[in-house]
């Protein structure tokens, strides 16, 4: 339950804060750009799992991990990116467009509404679902922390005959701690 809340909030957060459309940002399996109608860039959000805490207590400590894929199409590159143009902070071919560097900063840094130690994101999550609540459980009390990324990847999507090629990174975040109490007041009395 907690991971679905975080995924939905993260998707809405990025769309609202950056004015991104549905075909520019969303929850996608394995943080890959699976949409056929995606634009020049895509920010894909997926869960990286849930960790738990001490098993000798009567509560469950949840620590969430998120994977955020930042992707750019390669359409303007006539062949494989042998010169690593997509790794640079600006793109001479697509002036004014979102580069991978721009997307990484936006997803990462709090001053650009990114996730690393962003307490506004954390409070927005608690507020969006009125946490703590009977339906959704306890409040989240620690923000997400950036845990790194891998090397640049390529990914191909079959577009009904033509393959779309994407270049990108998958960034990892860990945090959004919360503790779910397993016993209710009635259980303790009974």
| Domain locations in the chain as residue ranges | 2-189
**CA 81 to CA 94: how far, in whole Å?**
15
Which residue has tokens 């990108």? 168
∠ CA(152), CA(114), CA(61), 5° rounding? 95
The CA radius of gyration of the chain, in Å to the nearest whole number, is: 19
Instruction: Specify the pLDDT at position 47.
Output: 93
Instruction: Specify the pLDDT at position 188.
Output: 42
CATH homologous superfamily of 2-189 equals Phage tail protein-like (3.30.2000.10)
**CA 111 to CA 27: how far, in whole Å?**
23
Q: How many CB atoms lie within 10 A of CB 60?
A: 18
Q: Quote the pTM value.
A: 0.82
**CA 24 to CA 151: how far, in whole Å?**
22
Residue 147, CA atoms < 13 Å, CB-side half-sphere: 13
Q: Is 65 helix (H, G, I), strand (E, B) or coil?
A: strand
Q: Is the dihedral of CA 5, 130, 125, 16 positive or negative?
A: positive
Instruction: Specify the pLDDT at position 185.
Output: 44
Instruction: Specify the pLDDT at position 137.
Output: 87
Q: pLDDT of the chain along its 190 residues, tens only?
A: 678 999 999 999 999 999 999 999 999 999 998 777 788 899 999 998 888 766 666 778 889 999 999 998 876 555 555 445 555 555 555 545 567 888 999 999 999 999 999 999 999 999 999 999 988 989 999 999 999 999 888 888 776 777 788 889 999 999 999 987 766 544 444 3
Instruction: Specify which residues 178 forms β-bridges with.
Output: 62
Tokens of 45: 């959000």
Tokens of 35: 């949409």
């Amino acid at each position: 339950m907690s991971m679905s809340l975080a995924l939905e909030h993260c998707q809405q957060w990025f769309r609202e804060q950056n004015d991104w459309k549905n075909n520019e940002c969303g929850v996608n399996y394995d943080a890959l750009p699976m949409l056929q109608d995606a634009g020049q860039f895509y920010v894909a959000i997926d869960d990286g799992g849930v960790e738990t805490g001490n098993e000798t207590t009567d509560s469950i400590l949840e620590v969430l991990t998120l994977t955020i894929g930042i992707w750019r199409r390669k359409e303007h590159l006539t062949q494989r990116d042998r010169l690593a143009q997509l790794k640079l902070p600006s793109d001479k071919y697509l002036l004014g467009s979102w580069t991978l560097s721009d997307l990484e900063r936006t997803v990462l840094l709090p001053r650009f509404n990114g996730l690393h130690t962003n307490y506004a994101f954390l409070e927005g999550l608690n507020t969006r679902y009125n946490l703590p609540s009977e339906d959704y459980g306890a409040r989240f009390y620690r923000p997400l922390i950036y845990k790194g990324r891998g090397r640049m990847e390529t990914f191909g999507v079959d577009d009904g005959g033509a393959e779309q090629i994407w270049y990108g990174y998958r960034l990892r975040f860990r945090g959004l701690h919360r503790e779910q109490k397993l016993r209710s007041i009635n259980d303790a009395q009974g």
